[in-house]
Amino acid sequence: MAIALSFDLGRYWNMWQPIFNWQGNSVLFEVGMCVTAYLLVLTVEMSPAFLEGLKARMDQKEWGAALLRKVEKPLHSLHVAVKIALPMFIVAGVVLSFMHQSSLGRSC
């Protein structure tokens, strides 16, 4: 979805510019920043499933298991850290989605 939205912008190659050129008076800038942050939060929220899938791949000795064994300890540490921080990211996801909706003038 994010890739499709980037092409929908028209000039997708300029997508990085709002991060460095802040336009604090623009409502759409705030919406864009909320959407960007929300996509990052969603990535963190989905990472436990991804990391568990990598662990299952190692346990079942599927293709790539030998390579994954070399990074097993960092993957486990990352999984533990994400599970600890996950409640904060869930709250951040709710807050960001409400901020995005309030910027567009919709009330929930």
Q: pLDDT by residue (tens digit) across 70-80?
A: 777 887 888 88
| Tokens matching residue 81 | 């850290």
Q: Is residue 1 situated within a structural domain?
A: no
**Exposed (0-12), middle (13-18) or buried (19+): which is 17, by Cβ within 10 Å?**
exposed
Q: Is residue 2 situated within a structural domain?
A: no
Q: Is residue 62 situated within a structural domain?
A: yes
pLDDT of residue 52: 83
pLDDT of residue 3: 67
| pLDDT exceeds cutoff 50 at 107 | no
pLDDT of residue 2: 61
pLDDT of residue 26: 72
Number of structural domains in the chain: 1
CB neighbour list of residue 100: distance below 8 Å, 6 or more residues apart: 31, 34, 35, 38
Q: Where are the alpha helices (DSSP H) in 1-108?
A: 2-8, 17-20, 27-59, 65-70, 72-103
> What is the rounded end-to-end Cα distance, in angstroms, of the chain?
24
Q: Is residue 18 situated within a structural domain?
A: no
Q: Is residue 11 situated within a structural domain?
A: no
> What DSSP character marks residue 12?
G
Q: Is residue 56 situated within a structural domain?
A: yes
Rounded CA separation 102/33 (Å): 13
Q: Is residue 35 situated within a structural domain?
A: yes
Q: Is residue 43 situated within a structural domain?
A: yes
Domain that holds residue 95: 27-103
